[in-house]
A and B are shown apart, each in its own frame.
Chain A
Amino acid sequence: MGSKTAYSSKTMTNIYMIRRRRWANVGAVYLLLLIFSIGFMGPFLFAALSSLKDDPLEWPPRITVNQLKLSNWIAAYKLGKAGGGGGFFGAFAPGAVVPFEVTYKVAPGKEPVVPEVVIPRRIPGSAAAALLLKEFAADYAEVSEIKEVEREVLEDGSTLVTYRFEIRHTGDIVIDRLPLDITVPFKQIFVKGTLDPNRIERLGRVQSWDNITSGVIPYIFHNYHRVFSENYSRSTGKNLFMSWIFNSFYLAFVRVITTLLFASMAGYALARLKFAGKNTIFVFMLFSMMIPGQVTFISNYLVLRDGIFGISKLFGMDSLLNTYTGLIISGLVGASAVFIMKQFFEGLPVSLEESARIDGANTYQIFFKIMLPLAKPALGALTILTFQGVWNEFFWPLVVLTSPQDKFTLTLGLLNFRQTYAVAFDWGPMLAGAIISALPIIILFIVFQKYFIEGISFTGIKG
Chain B
Amino acid sequence: MKKRLSTLNEKVAPYILLAPFLFVLIVFFGYAFVRVLYFSFTDYDLFSSPKWVWFKNYINLFQEIQFGRALKNSITFAIIVTTCQTFIALVLAVVLNQQIKGIKFFRAAYYMPSVTSSVVITLIFMWIFQKRGLMNYLLTQVVKASRILLVFFLLAVIFHILLVMYEKIRKRPVSIFEPAFIVLSLLLSGIITFILIKVGIISTLENVKPVRMIWLNTRKTWPDIAGPLAFPIPLGAIMILNIWTTAPTFMLLYLAGLQDIPKELYEAAAVDGATKWHTFWYITVPQLKHITFLVVTMGLIGTLQMFDQVAVIGDQAPLDSTITLAYYIYKNVLPSSAIPKVGLASAAAIFLAGLTFIIVLIQKKFVNK
Contact = CB atoms under 8 A, between A and B. Distances in A.
Contacts of B350: 295
Interface stretch (A24-32, A130-138, A154-162, A374-382): A24-32
A394 B121 CA distance: 13
B20 A463 contact: no
B110 A437 contact: no
A441 B117 contact: yes
Given A41-B109, A332-B23, A391 B117 contact: yes
B11 A40 contact: no
B114 to A, nearest CB: 6
A41 B245 CA distance: 10
Q: Which size bracket describes the interface of A in this complex?
A: 35 or more
B126 A422 contact: yes
Contact of A362 (B6, B172, B345): B6
A446 interface: yes
A26 B312 CA distance: 42
A362 B95 CA distance: 54
19 contacts: A33-B100, A40-B248, A43-B134, A44-B112, A57-B127, A61-B134, A273-B13, A294-B326, A294-B329, A296-B33, A297-B330, A301-B334, A308-B27, A335-B25, A363-B9, A363-B13, A423-B316, A434-B123, A449-B107
Contacts of A456: 111, 114, 249
Contacts of B242: 463
Interface stretch (A12-20, A120-128, A201-209): A12-20
A25 B114 contact: no
A110 B362 CA distance: 81
A192 B30 CA distance: 68
A302 B134 CA distance: 43
B98 A25 contact: yes
A contacts with B: majority SS: helix
A291 B21 contact: no
B21 A394 contact: no
A453 B111 contact: yes
Interface in A298-342: 298-303, 308, 330-335, 338
A-B CB proximity, top 3 nearest: A463-B302, A24-B180, A392-B117
Contacts of B192: none
B33 A291 contact: yes
B118 interface: yes
Contact of A268 (B17, B31, B116): B17
A411 B123 CA distance: 11
B288 interface: no
B252 A453 contact: yes
Nearest to B46: A302
